[in-house]
């Protein structure tokens, strides 16, 4: 597995998002099976694992911890804290106390004395990013975290936070189907030497090419509210899948691998973290690091993508609707 740098953190070129092992995409595997899947990713060369405090209320962090405890010093673990919009604190002392409590709880759940990469899960507009950045800087000085990051942040928020405590990485949604961050965020990450970590790099599985209008999603499955999975949008987005299948055939790869290889070719500081609860898909996804796209092939893909209109997307607002759905 190739290695890449998120600022000063060395990680595998493709990471593993662990959320789906505990929540978010329908039925989850039994604990022992989930641990095997994480270990399989590690055995295939993955050294970068992503979780968060809110994934199954800490259970996902515990799962990651148990799976990786014997190889803890060989991996980079990222987790996240989230302040809801009703935050009312503003004094730095109060904020530090709250953040320290969150951090200590994640350290306990992860069974470790430090977190390699600690993200603010979403930027809270009630808290100046400078204040969050200051607290992260203090935790770095204490050795509690090695680096920090933001998720779904704007250019303004990135610059302001980075000026206080340099950011290690930015984690945001990015894929062939969702490219809004190419315009300004990714260039700023390059300018400031901040790693970019795409979540949903396969558009929640859409880019695998294995889903159809007949695919049914039930229970707590995010694809029930992600609009790209609406029947009309699945049909309308078929030209994109046709394009991926064409390039995949030429490279003796899969559509998912072409999607990830395209991303890896774009910038050397981009490290996607695809999720999967399927052993074959994990092997396929991590295998994308060995699918090398030439400059000419990349240019051809970009030319063809420019002709295709994407239908549907994924928003935090839509994701919130999931919890109110009835089976």
| Annotated active-site residue in 55, 118, 119, 181 | 55
C-alpha to C-alpha distance for 128 and 157, rounded to whole angstroms: 9
Q: How far apart are CA 86 and CA 83, in angstroms?
A: 8
HSE-CB for 125 with a 13 A CA cutoff: 2
230 close to 206: Cβ distance less than 8 angstroms: no
> Which two three-digit tokens encode residue 141?
């000085």
C-alpha torsion angle, residues 104, 107, 112, 117 (rounded to 10): -110
Q: What angle do CA 237, 223, 13 make, to 5 degrees?
A: 80
Question: What's the Rg (C-alpha) of the chain?
Answer: 19
Question: Angle at Cα 177 formed by Cα 171 and Cα 178, nearest 5°?
Answer: 40
> Catalytic annotation on 181?
no
Residues annotated as part of the active site: 55
């Amino acid at each position: 597995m190739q290695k890449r740098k998120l600022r000063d953190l060395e990680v595998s070129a493709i990471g593993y998002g662990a959320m789906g092992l505990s929540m978010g995409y329908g039925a989850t595997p039994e604990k022992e099976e989930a641990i095997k899947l994480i270990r399989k990713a590690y055995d295939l060369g993955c050294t970068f694992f992503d979780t968060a405090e809110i994934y199954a209320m800490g259970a996902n962090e515990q799962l990651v911890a148990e799976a990786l405890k014997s190889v803890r010093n060989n991996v980079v673990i990222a987790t996240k804290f989230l302040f809801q919009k009703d935050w009312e604190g503003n004094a730095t002392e109060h904020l530090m106390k709250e953040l320290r409590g969150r951090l200590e709880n994640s350290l306990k759940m992860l069974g470790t004395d430090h977190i390699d990469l600690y993200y603010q899960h979403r930027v809270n507009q009630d808290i100046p990013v400078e204040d969050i950045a200051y607290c992260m800087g203090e935790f770095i000085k204490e050795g509690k975290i090695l680096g920090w990051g933001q998720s779904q942040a704007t250019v303004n928020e990135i610059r302001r936070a980075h000026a206080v405590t340099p950011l290690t990485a930015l984690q945001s949604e990015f894929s062939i189907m969702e490219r809004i961050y190419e315009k300004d965020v990714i260039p700023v990450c390059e300018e400031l030497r901040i790693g970019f970590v795409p979540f949903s790099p396969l558009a929640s599985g859409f880019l695998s090419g294995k889903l159809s209008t007949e695919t049914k999603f039930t229970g707590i499955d995010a694809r029930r509210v992600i609009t790209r999975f609406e029947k009309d949008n699945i049909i309308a987005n078929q030209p994109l899948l046709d394009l991926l299948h064409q390039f995949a055939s030429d490279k003796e790869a899969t559509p998912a691998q072409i999607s990830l290889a395209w991303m890896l070719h774009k910038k050397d500081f981009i490290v996607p973290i695809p999720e999967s609860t399927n052993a074959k898909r994990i092997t396929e996804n991590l295998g994308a690091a060995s699918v090398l796209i030439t400059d000419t092939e990349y240019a051809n893909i970009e030319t063809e993508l420019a002709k295709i209109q994407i239908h549907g997307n994924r928003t935090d607002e839509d994701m919130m609707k999931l919890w109110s759905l009835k089976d």
